[in-house]
Amino acid sequence: MAFASLLEHVGGMGRFQVLSVLLLSLPVLMMASHNLLQNFTAAASDHRCRPGPEANASGLDPEALLRVWVPHGERCRRFVTPQWWLLEANGSEPTNSSWPETEPCGDGWTYDRSVFTSTIITEWDLVCSSRGLKQLAQSLYMAGVLVGGIFGGLSDRFGRRSVLTWCYLQMAAMSTCSSFAPTFTVYCLFRFLTGMAFSGISLNSVSLSLEWMPTHMRALVGTFMGYCYTTGQFLLAGVAFAVPDWRRLQLVVSLPFFGFFLYSWWLTESARWLVMVGRSHQALRELQKVARINGKKEEGDKLDIEVTKLRRKEMTSSKTRHTVADLVRTPVLRRISFCLCFVWFSTSFAYYGLAMDLQNFEFNIYVIQLIFGAVDIPAKLASILAITYVGRRFTQTVALVLAGLAILANVLVPRDLQTLRTALAVFGKGCLAASFNCVFLYTGELYPTVIRQTGMGLANTMSRLGSIMAPLVKMAGELFPALPFVIYGAAPVVSGLVAALLPETRNVALPETVEEVEGRWGWRGSGMRGGMDGWGRTEVEKVVECEDGWMDG
């Protein structure tokens, strides 16, 4: 009996699976609150140089002080001495060539606090010559998410649930510490460690849920978890509106992870993984536990013989120690890894290029956050329908190409047509959300159980390289405003074409071993058509060899 059949034997999509998905989805609901948090905690505010110390004795109102100390429209410099003549009724602004001598803002800045009472920008004066530190902070967070890819390999060795539990604790502790950071450097350090935990949670939540799901429910469950992330974007907008102080906002979105850590001890380790690492007795206990919860206790008691039948595969797998090199050692896995690297990098690169610069759209930042979250609802609905009834490869390719074309079209739209520019960006972001929805599921289905988390770790690494590069490319817009959109748009188009080279996995059972992947999608195992079309074993068996070549039987 194959493992997929064992799952059906103990209840299929029963009470255990429903409860497990709900518990794994609650943390995903809060993930957007950390990934997109800097849209609010690092929001830019209008700022001006603070007048010199002698201004306090002048007795002037703030508007008059601003007029005599700061050149009109200038944010990063002030007059060396106050220009009292500008207060005269007939005093006029000098031309740009005749401004009195100015100097950098030696006494700090004053900020408009009408929207955000406090941000890391106002806390540590990340403006003018230090404005690049805002993007650096986000890149360092994403670097943490990149390094967190090690949790993928660790979970292949130590188990999905154990690593997930640790990541919940790390997320809770490090993100809470971020809210009390005394300096910008310490803040970046805690954000880096928070990013590592984010990566481990996202990797293991998906795999742990998929490995307990029947084949026909994988796409639905993957999309449900994607919708939880979407709902989290709405939640973030509401919480940020209610809590405009960055330290309190950071704390509010951090504390729930202590609760997730506590209940994670109830979660059940993947029996599929336990079998593949040679721990069949523990796998049997977990399957029997699932059977009891699903009301199939008698069927669970009969599983001993069925699990024993899996030991040949178990013993073969457990004798071979798998490493990251297995991702590229064989032809089919090498092709899969190469293509997925392109897909993950460009999806994340373009997604965060759009989603992490909401103030660029010149709308109310809370409204644009809601719009960017709302577009995920129809986008992910369309993706689940396409994934289920058309296929993973088609969905992945079309979503990426459409996203890239929408972003590239923005380059041709005049800047004063802000509504059209925003609409194109929202459409592109929706397509990228659909791409993310597909590729999470697709990656888990393409890699075999013995290296599934290692493969997810590689995918995570490429995704985070993209998210690290996204804010850095944004800096190029200061020299050439259209350049970031050109780069953000070209990357998804190219990777969409590369995605067409992946095999199809619709209605195909999860592979367990490297040999199974090579036999199912390899040139020898299924011929060129099988390798490209992703046939399962039953379809391969329908192929007969004739004197004139291959044909369907």
Of 164, 173, 171, the closest CA to residue 267 belongs to: 164
534 backbone dihedrals φ, ψ, rounded to 5°? 70, 40
Domain 331-505: which CATH number of 3.40.50.1950, 3.20.20.70, 1.10.3210.10, 1.20.1250.20: 1.20.1250.20
pLDDT at residue 90, as a whole number: 55
Q: Concatenate the DSSP letters of all residues of 178-209 into one string.
A: HTT-SSHHHHHHHHHHHHHHHHHHHHHHHHHH
User: Where does the pLDDT of residue 551 fall: very low under 50, low under 70, confident under 90, or very high at 90 and above?
Assistant: very low
d(CA 278, CA 86): 82
Same fold, 1-28+125-319 and 331-505: yes
Return the domain boundaries, the chain: 1-28+125-319, 47-111, 331-505, 514-552
d(CA 186, CA 392): 42
104 - beta bridge partners?
77
Q: Decide if 54 contacts 146 (C-beta within 8 A).
A: no
Summarised one tens digit per residue, pLDDT across range 514-543 is 888 888 887 544 433 333 344 333 333 333
Is the model's pLDDT at 510 over the cut of 90?
A: no
Instruction: Tokens for 176, please give them.
Output: 């809470």
Summarised one tens digit per residue, pLDDT across range 40-94 is 888 877 777 777 666 555 556 666 666 666 776 666 776 766 666 666 655 555 5
H, E, C per residue of 497-533: HHHCCCCCCCCCCCCCCHHHHHHHHCHHHHHHHHHHH
Of 499, 521, 498, 494, the closest CA to residue 395 belongs to: 499
How much is the pTM? 0.68
> Lowest-confidence range among 116-120, 320-324, 432-436, 538-542?
538-542
Q: Which of 177-186, 319-328, 358-367, 483-492 has the highest mean pLDDT?
A: 177-186
Its CATH architecture, for the domain 1-28+125-319, is Up-down Bundle (1.20)
pLDDT at residue 215, as a whole number: 72
Summarised one tens digit per residue, pLDDT across range 253-281 is 999 999 999 988 888 888 777 877 777 77
Residues making up the chain, counted from first to last = 553
Percent of the chain with pLDDT over 70: 76
Q: Decide if 482 contacts 410 (C-beta within 8 A).
A: no
Q: Decide if 354 contacts 488 (C-beta within 8 A).
A: yes
The position carrying tokens 């800097």 is 38
User: Where does the pLDDT of residue 356 fall: very low under 50, low under 70, confident under 90, or very high at 90 and above?
Assistant: low
The position carrying tokens 């330290």 is 247
Cα 473 to the chain's mean position, in Å? Answer: 18
Is the model's pLDDT at 375 over the cut of 90?
A: no
Give the burial string for 277-303 (b: 16+ CB within 10 Å, else e): bebbeebbbbbbebbbbbebeebbeeb
Instruction: Tokens for 187, please give them.
Output: 């803040």
162 or 372, higher pLDDT:
162
Percent of the chain with pLDDT over 90: 16
248 or 410, higher pLDDT:
248
Query: Using CB atoms within 10 A of its CB, is residue 366 exposed (0-12), middle (13-18) or buried (19+)?
Result: middle
102 - beta bridge partners?
79
325 or 394, higher pLDDT:
394
Summarised one tens digit per residue, pLDDT across range 396-427 is 999 999 999 988 888 788 877 778 878 888 89
Summarised one tens digit per residue, pLDDT across range 326-342 is 888 888 889 999 999 99
> Lowest-confidence range among 9-13, 173-177, 223-227, 368-372?
9-13
Q: What is the mean pLDDT of the chain?
A: 78
d(CA 237, CA 240): 5
* Residues 6+ positions from 61 with CB-CB distance below 8 Å: none
Give me the mean pLDDT over the 113-139 stretch. 81
